[in-house]
Amino acid sequence: MINPHGSLTLNPLFVIDAEERAALEESAKQLPSVLLSSAGAANAVMLGAGYFNPLTGYMNKADALSVAENMHTQSGLFWPTPVLCLVDSAVQFETDSTIALRDPNVQGNPIIAVMELEAIETLTNTEMETISQQVYATNDSDHPGVAEFNSQGQTLLSGPIKILNFSYFEKDFGDTFRTAAQIRETIEENGWDKVVAFQTRNPMHLAHEELCRIAMERIGADGCVIHMLLGKLKSGDIPADVRDASIRKMVELYFPPNSVMITGYGFDMLYAGPREAVLHAVFRQNMGATHFIIGRDHAGVGDYYGAFDAQTIFDTDVPSDALEIEIFRADHTAYSKKLNKVVMMREAPNHEKDDFVLLSGTKVREMLGNGIAPPAEFSRPEVAEILMNYYQSLEKSEQP
């Protein structure tokens, strides 16, 4: 099996031993504590689940700036985005102490982790702008990732942590949330050698389904892991439970048995385009995938990134020996009326735009809200039904 990033074995930071975990939970109640941002809690979940291997905790200021500038920590580890614990204030803490980290996303704000506090540092306005510009390629406050980053505070807490739970993800998405270690175990149990991973924060329409199938065939993959983001999204994105139901229905009806794993991970979307695409590749290597599909405008939002910047960054900024996982580069995929099948558009010569079935997201949402299923060349009817029910329920809830 492919090695995890930066080490020969996966080292998740979740405290596996139940007795040790219970003891830590009890002792942590007596510790000074801080309420994390949602992003900080999501980082804790990812550290605990092994997706951030081989990190041992939140980054300090020097590592954060180094990663933002050149995608390497001070020690030389390749890493694409800073992993931070930012808070408004830390006057109640002292360095070289142990503190408790509280979860903002669960009622009662339970302790999600304990941290050995090695440093308390402040990011200046200029340093915040530098990180934002390098990671998101903009300082525009209208960018949802930039806005979220700037809302967290400028006091940076760093040090190794021990994770006590996986926030709301295990409870709310018990059939879907999986740690990197759990996915590796299942891949091994399935006897899969070549494994392609597909990232999604949206429901999967026919083009996405066929893209997974195309990648599997060309790579000669034994299986595909559909790996959906389960954390916070921007306003207007479809909730995780609706996406989960639609993807499960698609796989159940249209893929051979035991060829696809449906999984999810507990992280808040960054919308960081190319940098986030590289981070996604790290996640997938850590969970055991050998190949990762990156398509048009991967992890993008608005017009902040070029259509294929998330692919070219692997040529321009990622050293050839930085990652073991291989990238499957996909074009925009759509149904060809001429060929009567879904194709990658760059591979369809003698085609004009009108030769493809292309629907904007706005048009699709409008159709679904009106109870109109998109054409079968765009979306499976069973998937469309789930999404129609969701959009129509929204409209009913908005009625006076």
Joined tokens for residue 96:
């070289």
CA-CA-CA-CA torsion sign (49, 172, 256, 311): negative
389 labelled catalytic:
no
**Separation of CA 181 from chain center:** 16
Peptide bond before residue 203 is cis, with ω within 30 degrees of 0: no
150 labelled catalytic:
no
* Residue of 109, 190, 201, 329 marked catalytic: 201
Measured from the Cβ of residue 351, the count of other Cβ atoms closer than 10 Å reads 17
The label of the residue with tokens 């949206």 reads 202
Joined tokens for residue 82:
């800073």
Query: What 3-state DSSP class applies to 329?
Result: strand
* β 119-122/97-102 pair status: unpaired
Length of the chain, in residues:
400
Angle between helices 274-286 and 125-136 (to 10 degrees): 70
Query: What 3-state DSSP class applies to 161?
Result: strand
Joined tokens for residue 334:
């759509």
206 and 378 Cβ atoms separated by less than 8 Å: yes
Joined tokens for residue 158:
């760093």
* Residue of 3, 11, 190, 202 marked catalytic: 202
Catalytically annotated residues: 201-202
